[in-house]
């Protein structure tokens, strides 16, 4: 199965909740009028695109229909596809890995798929010919280190770990020294995800970034927040919380294949203006894909 087919397959449930309903409405309406716009807006809201974002998309559609004199259902469909791709486009969609080493800090609450995302990202980067090292700095959650070790073995990359309960910053410090001495291309750092102890967690993250900046001045640092697409609007709240303490450079949206709430991508982008850099569309090692807005819009609005 090709990359686009995997994405299309992974978006099946979301497509059913958005594209298929849009098609049904377009078929049942004889003309492009205000009533049609209201119906389309409602579909987007119920698919977790969010009220504010849905209203903005339909306002944009109204303008496009008027400007381009769109009168057919297919014309409206293509216009929606263009609007979605345009709203998700971002010049910083790729990773900045311009230094040796470059650092990717992975953050997010427990249960969103952080560990699996790290394993799959390490595998993806290794398959691109990069030497990757992983720092197991989530030292608080029971079995977090063991789980990460399993995934790094699958990906074929090395891991720097301490015992459970160790200081996360010490793990990162040791990993940086190892990365420098071995001339590693990319260091991926796992972090704890205990959002219920928000103050401690956020202080911990700040300390971790201070060590990275001190030990690797001028290094390219990506801070990627992992979000579970199945949680819908809750994912937006998590993104807002983490963006308060971390300069997020991108998002990894997991479990897209298990939800009809893939429209959440549009809501997050609209409210936070943080680019989605990867999407998870399955359980396999190569199911974490770089996010390409045009492909997402095509797969979302594709005919079955």
Known binder of ligand: residue 236? no
Report the C-alpha gap between 62 and 287 in whole angstroms. 36
**Per-residue DSSP letter, 182:** T
Instruction: For residue 186, give every residue at least 6 positions away whose Cβ sits within 8 Å of its Cβ, in sequence order, or none.
Output: 97, 101, 102, 103, 104, 125, 130, 131, 132, 133
Known binder of ligand: residue 256? yes
More confident residue, 140 or 133: 133
Known binder of ligand: residue 273? no
Residues 191 and 110 sit within 8 Å (Cβ to Cβ)? no
- φ/ψ (deg, to 5) at 141: -80, 130
Known binder of ligand: residue 192? yes
What pTM was estimated for this model as a whole?
0.88
Known binder of ligand: residue 113? yes
Residues 176 and 228 sit within 8 Å (Cβ to Cβ)? no
The 10s digit of each residue's pLDDT in 102-126 is 999 999 888 889 999 999 999 999 9
Report the C-alpha gap between 113 and 228 in whole angstroms. 7
Known binder of ligand: residue 115? yes
Is the confidence at residue 223, as pLDDT, over 90?
yes
Known binder of ligand: residue 112? yes
Which domains are delineated in the chain? 3-88 (1.20.120.140), 102-292 (3.40.50.300)
Select from 158, 167, 109 the least CA-distant residue to 130: 158
Q: Strand 288-290 and strand 276-280: pairing?
A: antiparallel
Instruction: For residue 51, give every residue at least 6 positions away whose Cβ sits within 8 Å of its Cβ, in sequence order, or none.
Output: 45
Tell me if residue 53 falls in helix, strand or coil: helix
Known binder of ligand: residue 121? no
Residues 255 and 228 sit within 8 Å (Cβ to Cβ)? yes
Known binder of ligand: residue 111? yes
Known binder of ligand: residue 190? yes
Q: How many CB atoms lie within 10 A of CB 232?
A: 18
pLDDT, position 50: 84
Residue listed under structure tokens 């549009």: 266
Known binder of ligand: residue 77? no
Band of pLDDT at residue 275, cut at 50, 70 and 90: confident
Distances (CA, A) of 97 to 11, 37, 220: 29, 43, 6
The 10s digit of each residue's pLDDT in 56-93 is 999 999 999 999 999 888 898 899 999 998 988 875 66
The 10s digit of each residue's pLDDT in 157-166 is 999 999 988 9
Known binder of ligand: residue 287? no
Known binder of ligand: residue 258? no
Residue listed under structure tokens 């991508």: 265
Report the C-alpha gap between 291 and 206 in whole angstroms. 28
């Amino acid at each position: 199965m090709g990359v686009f087919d995997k994405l299309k397959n992974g978006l099946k449930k979301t497509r059913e909740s958005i594209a298929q309903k849009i098609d049904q409405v377009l078929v049942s309406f004889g003309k492009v009028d205000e009533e049609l716009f209201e119906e389309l807006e409602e579909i987007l809201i119920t698919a977790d695109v969010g009220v504010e974002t849905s209203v903005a998309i339909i306002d944009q559609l109204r303008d496009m229909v008027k400007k381009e004199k769109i009168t057919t259902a297919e014309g409206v469909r293509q216009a929606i596809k263009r609007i979605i791709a345009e709203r998700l486009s971002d010049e910083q969609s790729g990773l900045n890995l311009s230094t040796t080493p470059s650092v990717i800090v992975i953050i997010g609450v427990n249960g969103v798929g952080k560990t699996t995302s790290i394993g799959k990202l390490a595998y993806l980067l290794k398959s691109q010919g990069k030497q990757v090292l992983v720092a197991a700095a989530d030292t608080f959650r029971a079995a977090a280190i063991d789980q990460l070790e399993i995934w790094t073995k699958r990906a074929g990359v090395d891991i720097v770990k301490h015992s459970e309960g160790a200081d996360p910053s010490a793990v990162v410090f040791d990993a940086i020294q190892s990365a420098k001495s071995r001339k590693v291309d990319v260091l991926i750092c796992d972090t704890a995800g205990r959002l219920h102890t928000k103050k401690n967690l956020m202080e911990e993250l700040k300390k971790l970034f201070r060590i990275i900046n001190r030990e690797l001045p001028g290094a390219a640092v990506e801070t990627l927040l992992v979000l579970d697409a199945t949680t819908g609007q809750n994912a937006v709240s998590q993104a807002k919380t983490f963006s308060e303490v971390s300069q997020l450079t991108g998002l990894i949206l997991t479990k897209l294949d298990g939800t009809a709430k893939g429209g959440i991508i549009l809501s997050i982008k609209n409210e936070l203006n943080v680019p989605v850099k990867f999407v998870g569309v399955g359980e396999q090692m190569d199911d974490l894909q770089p996010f390409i807005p045009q492909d997402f819009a095509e797969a979302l609005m594709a005919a079955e």
